[in-house]
Every structure is written in structure tokens, then in C-alpha cells.
Amino acid sequence: MKTKPYSASFTAKSMLMLFVLVLFSGMNIFSQTFDKNYQDGRLYFKFKDNVSLDIAVRSDYSVDFSEIPFISALQSQYRLKEMTRPYYLNNDHKLLRTFMLEIEDFDKINEVIQKLGIEQDLEYVEKVPMDYIHYVPNDSLYNLYNGPNNWNWHLDVIQAEQAWNISKGSSDIKVAIVDNAVWVEHPDLADKIILQRDTYYNTNNANPPASGDPFDWSHGTHCAGLTAAISDNGIGVASIGYNISIIAVKAANNSNANGIYGYPGIQWAANNGADVISMSWGGPGYSATNQNLINTIHNMGIVLLSSAGNDNVSTAHYPSGYNNVISIASTNSDDEKTDFSNFGTTVDLCAPGGYASPGPSGLLSTTYNSGTYGNYDLMAGTSMATPVAAGLAGLILSINPALTPAQVETIMKNTSDDVYTVNPDYTGQLGAGRINAFRAAANTPFEPTANFSTPVTTILPGGGVDFTDLSTGVPSTWQWTFQGGTPSSSTEQHPSNIKFNSPGVYDVTLTITNEFGTSTLMLEDYITATNTPAPYVFIAVSDSMPCFFEEVTLSDNSLYNPDSWEWIITPETYEFVSGTSSASQNPQLVFSMPGAYSVSLTAANQHGSASMSYENLIYVNGAIPSFSVDMEDGSAGVFMVWDTVKSQSKIDLRAANQSDFGIHFHGDPVPTGWSGSPTSGTATQAWESNLAFHGKAYICGVDATGMENVALQLDLRQTYSLGPKFSWFRVMVNGEQVADLDGNTDFNPTTAAADEWRTLIFDLSAYAGQVFDIVLQSATRFSDKTQGEGDNVFIDNISITNTTPVKPDSRPSSSLRVYPNPSDGLFTLSSSKLTGAEVSIRVTSLLGNVVYAEKISGSNAGLLKTIDLSHLPSGIYLVSLSDGLQQQNQRIVIR
């Protein structure tokens, strides 16, 4: 398709200014990128509305670089990766003029933005923001990333994590799993099962029998885990139902794992408190009796869900085909109908039950059998899709237990995502769409509570105010009353520009309704319109996450022209700079201690004063030796973790050295673009050519002022896939690579999987007396276990001390003495072991360059020699002495 004609112009040189409002949302950051707030190498640009366009857009919304001449011109300077028109919602005029450009050289993103900023036809250019998720459970298999195998793909598809930010479910809501059996002692289920029953043998035991294939008897256990496995317990999997409870019903003969006698089971569940019943079984046979049973259970207020069947046919299937049963078909990770799933007009909804691409061939959940990951295994089928949907039904009822089955079904249908764009051959035969847990939770109504806000409450007469509805309960109607306002009332959810023309103090009232009730909020004397307003305080900060001693500017953005200011910052470990003070309008300051800082401002004008406080507005990064970081709280502590689109960085169990957590770096499941071979790749390739595969853990300020010695120590383990040169690690200080006590600067694994943990020690005394940065950097090709073991870097137990580093006892002693060390460059070398006729002295930099060489006559009494290296820049060097028979080495530090 094409849009309107466009011809590009290269004559315009107007600079575009970018204004970015950064919202500081907390101190815990799970992952970082090259710029932690923006996606690596991605930018948006939008053409002005009056520019005619004629740009060809492919069916996948990609655009050839040649379509836009000024983009094509960038190819000679930058490695452009892809250009797309990403947004086409409602054929919106502005969105159709917006394009996204991705470049390989993501560290040059600011250069590209500057070049595009001079294009006259563009309205703006901006980086693509990086959003962080607010909640992730700590279950070990939930967080396991095994190459392309995203084990929780089904939860990602339905936006479970966003739904959990609204509700994590209630244990008062009970979902009955009526199936062949449920292993009630499973460690990820035991505390969730409140009732159990075998309705075939009429016993209170829902467990599988002792005989038979454990995998065959795992069907019900697998379903139970998908609905309500214990979440956030540090083991296994998480479930959409999260906190909801399970009623386990075994409805099978002990000699037949596949034969289900389900209707007595659902009757028992209905009579024993079930709110939702999940039925992952069925067949082609219709029964009026069973329909009557279903009707009765439905009329009890119980939600029934059933699998549509796995025969890839559209013929009727029961119980999913009965009235008052929500029939669930299966989809894959791309929302395509799974190849086995039934379809047809009796299907009500779809849910993930098939395969991820790339990824697992099924859904990972709890099992009776033991496999690769213990009592967890993969299964696929509409049998899996149904308990996922049943868990969502339980989550909806957790928000509002008063909902009827019909209301639950309506919410699930109305909030589902369209799947017909990728399933055109099944139009009208896959129900309302694929369930979306987040949208369902956000649109579940309950008894409402009225609330609202405005940007300001004090205005000049004639000024307008925007009102934002903050009510809970999903209201269906809004009735606003504005005393003294124009207009005086509104039925909009968010009325804007309500004017208050005369001086005075006015009430505002909001009444909201939905089918569960009405709520009214009246705020008396809420709006003040006055010709003599005191300041209305707003502030801004130039950097909400600075490093040690980085200058930060606080800006007063208050309304109504204040002329005096009083700033208070706590704690008081800071100082004002550049001639500013606590009485300045826009003071500048630096912080001398890491941590969170709160800011308050009192601003005054001739009409009065006002104050506003912002708790934990600024978080200062850095640390003061001695300190250690062991990741045992699940975070990287004072270090920040960074990765790219071709690398993975996280805190997990795989990287723990005799503990629970460590830092884990690994590569990409599709590692195209890597430079270097698995056995002969070089450090230059790793660090200069493979930027997209880098991972980092860094601290932007280590305050070693007043210290004479500093040492870094960490535990390191590496693995490789096809060869050791696919896994690299190094340490950078202030942008310079440093060596450990053995002189090593680049670290590779020696085995594919069996490398032992080793302790590395780095003498950083050259940086003592100052504030410096540390980067622990990886370059890894394959993701974890994608190809064999995968290319991994594991780091644990990081410490930085203000002491002289000492190598473990295994380090051989040397008779070479160098003193003073560190020094300003004048060293004395002493050795009693070098007694040859001639002794060679050589000094090399950490990059291996020889910076000093001399040969002197030897002596039977040994060697005593003073050398002057004061002409060399500050840093760490290696001194080597050799008499032809033996060699001695020692590290020296020039301040």
C-alpha cells in the first residue's frame, strides 16, 4: 500500500529540540539497556502533517530505506538495521506518518537523532522508550530463559503480569479441576488444594494410582498447575490464578488414565463450594441429562469451562458444546489456531494451549511424572487452554465475587484479543477471541468508589481546569457538578477546560454508577479562583538517578511568579555548587553519599507561600569501599545490570556460587551478526565488533577518595557452546581494561560445561584517591542451552575493599621486591635469586605494549636497581626480570 505523494528535501537546516520528561518510578531496576530508559538503537520520527507522502509500506509494515532519501543517505555512515511504520491503529493520520528506525550501532543513536533533527519535513525525532514491568514472580522455571524456550509464554501472551498488578486472586475463590487425577502433594500445589475427592471410588483421595504410566496420570495435575500453581514461592511455575484455591476431583478408573467419568465429578464440585469448574475432557455424544445437570450447576452461579477438543474438526463436542458452558479452543504463541484444536460455532473463546514459536512445544506445568525439570513437563491441547481460561475466570471473580456466570463470560469475551486477522480461514469459528487477562481484570466491575484529580486547584479567574476521573469499580456513567464553573456540569469521564470566570472558592461533585452501585464524592472549596494567588509549587530535576558527584539541577516550575525560594534536601550529604544555594530558584548540587534523597520546596510571592515535598525524588548511584554484593535479595545491589537485543542479563540461580542468586550473562537464540570463530576469535572482535552481544553489570561511582589501596574481587564461571571464544569476560575501570593479579585481561572458559568457579582479584590501587566507575562486561554468542551448554558468564560474590589485594594461597611467592609500590614512577627492584651474567628488565602495559626495556650486568649477590618510569601515564604495569634461567614478575602501580 502507499500513502500520499512525498518528495524529500535536503536543503532545510532547522534543528529539532527534544524534550523528555523522565518519571522516576522507583529504585529497583530489573534490567538495563545502553540507555536505561530507551530501547537500544531505536528511534521514532514523524513527518509534519502538511508534508505529502508517497512511501511504499510492505504487508509486514516494513519500509525500504530507499523510500526516504535522507534515511538512505545515512547508510554510508551507520549500519541501519530496519525501518517500519509500526502503528496503524484506526488509520490515524498522525500514526501513519510515524516511522521507527533501528540501527546496529546503538551507541551512535544520538548522532543519528542530531542528523535527522535538521530535516525540515520532520515534526520530531525521539528515542523509543523502554518500559519496565512492575511485577515478576520469583518461581525458578518461570524466570528460566532457555534459549528461545520461554517457559511462561502462555502467561506472556495473555498479559498475566499486568493483570497481577490489578489482582493476584483471592483464596476465597475455588476452581475445581475435574480430571483423571491430581497429585495433591505436589510441592507447587499442596498448599492450594483445599478439598479433594475421588468420585469414581467415592474416597477423599484425588491422587493418581500407584500403578500405570506416571505421565499418563499427570493430565489433571498439569491442568491444576496451569490454573493455580503456587506463585512467587521460589520454585517451579507460576499460574494465572495466582492465589485462588483448588478443589481436586479425580473422576477416572484406576486402570484407565484416559477414561473420564466427569459428570459425577462436576456435581460433587458444585455441591462442595466450587466457584469455577474446569473440564478438560469430552466427546461427540450429546446427552439431555448432562445438559440438564449443566443447567442446574450454572443456575447455582458456577462458571463452567470445557475444552473444545483436539480433532481439528468443527463438529459438536461435549460438554463444551452444551449451553451454559464456555468452550475453549487452543491457540499458539502467535494467536494462530493450534493444528489440533477443534473449531466451530460452539467455540466461545481461545486460550494458549499449543506451541511457542520459537519455544516449547506445549505449556510447562506441574506433573506427577518426573522429567528434565523435576515434576514439571510440557503438554499441549485444548486441555491446557481450558485451565488457563478457568484461572482467569477465578481471577475475575476474585475482583468481584458477586458476578454471575454470564457476566464473567461477557467480560472474558469483551476483553479478548482478535485472532481472526491471523486465522482468516476460521472466521466466526474461534469464538470472541483469545483471552486477555490484563484487559479482563481492568474491566471487571465492582462496587464503585468515586475519586478524581486536577493538575492545580488554584487558578486565575477565567482560567480552565482539566479533571481526571480516578474512580474504581469500572463506572458506566459519570455526573459532574462544578459550582461556579462553565459549563456547570458534565457527563464526560474526563472533562477538560472547565472555566471559573469569577473570583471565589468552589465545590466540585462527582457521582459515578455501575450495575453494582453508586458513589458520590463532593470536595468542598476545591477550586480557588483568585487574582492574588500564592505560588503553586512544581519542581523538576535534571537527573533523577545521578552518580556520585555528578552535578544535578533542581528547577522551580511553580506557577504565579514566586520571587523567593527555600529548598530542603534530606539527607544532608550534598553541597550546593556553581554559586547556588538553598535560596536559589534553580540550585545546582552534588551528592557525596549514595541512596535516596527527598526534596521539598517552599516558594513565596507577594501574595503568600506554598510548599511541596517529593519523597525519594533522587536516587544517587555509587558506593564507598569496603562493600560486597552477593545478589541474595534477588537484585544486583549497587550494580546496575544492562543488556541488548542480542544478549540476556539477569539475576538467577544458575549464576549462584553455593548460594541462591548471581549475575547471569548469555547471548541470543539466533546469534547472527557475531564476529569471530568459536576457537580462534579475538578479544578485539569480542569487544569492538560484537557490541550487540554485550552485557554489563556496572557501578557508576566508587568513592575511593582518601584511600591508598583498592581491590576488586569476584567469583567467575564461564561455559561455551561450540568453542571457548564465544564466551568472553573483562573488567573495565573508567573505560580502561584492567588485569587481575595474574595479568589476565580477557577471560574465556576452558570447558563446555565443567568449568569450576574461580576467584579473580584486581588491584585497583591506581584509582585510589578518586571516584571511578567499574564495568563487569560480557560478550557471549549463544543463549543459555540453545546450543549445548550455551555461552554463559556467571558472576557471584563481588566485593570492593580499601585494602591491598592478596591472591589466594595458591599464588606462588616471588623473591622480587618492588618498592615503593604504588609510587609516582620511581621504583627500586630487588631480587636475591637472579644471579646470571646479564639480567633483562622489561615493563609492559596492560595492553601488552613494552614501555621500558633495559639489560644490565648481573651479580652473584643478586640485583638491586632503581628505574624511573615517571614519564609514563598513571596505571598498572607488569615488571618482568629474567637472567636466562628464570623469570620473575611483579605488578606496579604508577599514580
Q: Per-residue b/e over 848-887, b at no fewer than 16 CB within 10 Å? A: eeebbeeeeebeeeebeeebebeeeeebbbbbbbbbeeee
SS3 893: strand
The catalytic residue among 139, 179, 198, 791 is 179
Q: Per-residue b/e over 291-325, b at no fewer than 16 CB within 10 Å? A: bebbeebbeeebbbbbbbbbeeeeebbbbbbbebb
Residue with cell 469521564: 493
CB 773 within 8 A of CB 702: yes
Label residue 52 exposed, middle or buried (CB < 10 Å: 0-12, 13-18, 19+).
Answer: exposed
As given in the structure block, the three cell numbers for residue 848 are 601488552
CB 204 within 8 A of CB 131: no
Dihedral sign from CA coordinates of 40, 146, 192, 435: positive
Element (H, E) at 112: helix 109-116
CB 206 within 8 A of CB 181: yes
Residue with cell 569476584: 714
* 407 DSSP assignment: H
Q: How far apart are CA 347 and CA 875, in angstroms?
A: 71
SS3 311: coil
CB 249 within 8 A of CB 176: yes
**Distant-in-sequence, close-in-space partners of 786: CB < 8 Å, separation ≥ 6:** 146, 147, 148, 669, 721
CB 659 within 8 A of CB 717: no
Q: Assign 3-class secondary structure to 266-308.
A: HHHHHHCCCCEEEECCCECCCCHHHHHHHHHHHHCCCEEEEEC
Residue with cell 470445557: 306
CB 155 within 8 A of CB 143: no
Beta bridge partners of 312: none
Q: Tell me the Ramachandran region of residue 95: left when phi exceeds 0, alpha when psi lies from -120 to 50, beta otherwise.
A: alpha
The catalytic residue among 383, 490, 647, 783 is 383
**Distant-in-sequence, close-in-space partners of 498: CB < 8 Å, separation ≥ 6:** 464, 465, 466, 467, 482, 485, 486, 487, 490
Dihedral sign from CA coordinates of 617, 622, 627, 631: positive
Q: How far apart are CA 420 and CA 95, in angstroms?
A: 23
Q: How far apart are CA 895 and CA 892, in angstroms?
A: 10
- The answer to whether residue 763 is catalytic is no
What's the one-letter identity of residue 320? Answer: S
List of E strands, 683-757 = 694-703, 711-719, 727-733, 736-738
Residue with cell 512525498: 6
- The answer to whether residue 383 is catalytic is yes
Cis-peptide, bond into residue 284, ω within 30° of zero: no
Q: How far apart are CA 415 and CA 437, in angstroms?
A: 8
The catalytic residue among 154, 186, 219, 298 is 219
Active site residues: 179, 219, 383
